[in-house]
Amino acid sequence: MSDTQLHTAENGVRIAFRQTAGQGPMLVFLPGYMSDMAGGKATALFDWARAQGRAALLLDYSGCGESDGDFADGTLSGWRDEVLELIHHYGGKHKALLIGSSMGGWLNLMVGEKLGARLAGLVGIASAPDFTEWGRSEADKAKLAAGETVYDPNPYGPEPTPMHASFWADGQANRLLDRTIEIDAPVRLLHGQGDADVPWEISLRLAAALRSDNVQTLFIKDGDHRLSRDADIAQLIKTCAQLCAEIETALLKD
């Protein structure tokens, strides 16, 4: 992409990102597992934000997309820290509205807890917190615990999808659904009921675990995991626009 920039992180890895200036809150899109900022949802949201004069930030985690690094070295904790670093470097005085897809919907919770008062809100798209637990068989867990890599069929490409032992172990150490998730900001959860990868019931568990009382879930009966059809993306943008308006109204009252 012509406006992609590179940020050299504290660990020396160069992280690819795109940003557009504008009014806040700053929209920050967190892609899913083995995905990147060139995806349809991220691009559409960024283009909408730029057209509306809203601040937005896209990024590729290390080992993904245009960023440096090896995917095999990636962990949720490491990617969380990269997201936080970019928000602190490029977010100015804006609060952050985190939008996470699938694994990104786990990561935005981890980032959100760390942001504290700087978190404006969250949007989850087929959020997949704790998928290293509920998404793996006991046989897989035994292999991963022994240091093996497990490969899954990939419905979106020709190569199988790997899960590396280090990623799995870090995920298990960062499970959220069996404790109170310490986020008080407004949260909106979108989930397709035809999702073959992340059961829609996970969003119900997530809504219950969040400390915030301002949580709404929207189930799309014929929606799949990606929620990337034109109508799905339109719903995502509508949700973000409404949440931005709510956040800005609350700030004016303060």
Q: How far apart are CA 230 and CA 236, in angstroms?
A: 10
Q: How far apart are CA 36 and CA 210, in angstroms?
A: 27
Annotated catalytic residue within 60, 81, 195, 232? 195
Continuous H helices in the chain:
40-52, 76-90, 103-115, 131-134, 138-145, 165-173, 201-209, 230-253
Annotated catalytic residue within 94, 164, 191, 225? 225
Is 225 one of the annotated active-site residues of the chain?
yes
**β-bridge pairing 187-192 and 119-125:** parallel
Q: Which two tokens stand for residue 89?
A: 């470097």
Is 127 one of the annotated active-site residues of the chain?
no
Please tell me whether the peptide bond between 199 and the residue prior to it is cis, using omega within 30 degrees of 0: no
What pTM, to 2 d.p., does this model score? 0.96
User: Domains, the chain, ranges and CATH?
Assistant: 5-252 (3.40.50.1820)
Annotated catalytic residue within 102, 164, 170, 203? 102
pLDDT in tens, the chain (254 residues): 459 999 999 989 999 999 999 998 999 999 999 999 999 999 999 999 999 999 999 999 999 999 999 999 999 999 999 999 999 999 999 999 999 999 999 999 999 999 999 999 999 999 999 999 999 999 999 999 999 999 999 877 788 999 999 999 999 999 999 999 999 999 999 999 999 999 999 999 999 999 999 999 999 999 999 999 999 999 999 999 999 999 999 877 76
